[in-house]
Amino acid sequence: MSSLNLDDFTDLIERPDGGVRRDAEARRERLVVPPGALGRLDDLGEWLAAAQGCVPVRPVDRPRVLLFAGDHGVAELGVSARPAGTADVLVRAVLAGASPVAVLARRLGVPLRIVDMALDCDPQALPAEVVSHRVRRGSGRIDVEDALTAEEAETAFRAGMALADGEADSGTDLVVLGDVSVGGTTAACVLIAALCGTDASVVTGRGGLAIDDLAWMRKCAAIRDALRRARPVLGDQVQLLAAVGGADLAAMTGFLLQAAVRKLPVVLDGVVTAACALVAQRIAFRAPDWWLAGHDSGEPGQAKALDRMALEPLLAQGVTVGEGAGALLALPLVRSAAALAAELPERAGEEAAEAAEDKPEE
């Protein structure tokens, strides 16, 4: 019998410190730059202060990119521009430094980690540190079968939790979260449609490589069929992830929840991370207060999920490549907000000096 009690997250997850946020807002009122002149950077700085529990906010010095990888059996239906079972090719490109997220991470000086949860390849073909958390080889075809067994879903979920604890314990102060998958957006759209009560066509996008109309129709049909399997298990989020998610999605959901428990801020990437965040919100309603939406990928499913969680993307650059690249682009913005909030001088000193000059001599 499972010992995983999802209700514990509701009790364990607290909101970022409201008192600290009010102190940060008060400090912002005293800065030499007029309130509102820095736009959303003001809000970001105050959010970071509340998340860190201190004013002025500390620099974001130890961020990390964390990518969960997996293959999804539904890709066999031709719903992706990439062949089914080829996510390992993408993983190798990241490891070789030849993918957009790898280039950006290198230039920004951010360490990057890939975690294989369900790649459809020989584990010996990848480094041991990548495959050490693998739950199974590929996920099931969710239109006709479960992605995972209940035990596999729980194992993946707990792996994500353990990884969040590891990052928090090592001093990571912000995580950029992404996925490396083939077929992952289809599973993500099923979760979003199920949790938002919408039809397949409302959430179905064209993926990172812009599939053609025929592939889009196949994707809609697969999501429609998977939705029929998802609706009966909406009340049990781990069972939902087992039925129509995948090991990588289950692990990301566990990671997001435990990161919120550990007060570790997370920047979400595209539709896959948004879907996992939506599942996590269903488990613990305060959890989204610890997340930022890095960018708008243009996927309708992502927009639907972020709207449900009241998260507004920081950037809108039309980045559809996935793999955390769009979210990583938002990191300099977050760092800039922290620097401005911490380093801009206050007006109080100037006003005190002016008052002293104006005071009549005795």
- For the annotated catalytic residues, the residue numbers are 323
Backbone angles phi, psi at 142, to 5 degrees: -70, -15
Asked whether 247 and 157 are in contact (CB, 8 A), the reply is no
Query: What is the edge-to-edge ordering of all strands in the sheet holding 63-71?
Result: 112-118, 63-71, 174-182, 266-268, 291-293
CB 254 within 8 A of CB 164: yes
CA-nearest of 216, 165, 210, 219 to 190 is: 219
Residues 6+ apart with CB under 8 A from 316: 295, 296
Q: How many whole angstroms from its chain centre is CA 327?
A: 8
Q: Are 256 and 275 contacting, i.e. CB atoms less than 8 angstroms apart?
A: no
177 closest CA partner among 72, 74, 257, 285: 257
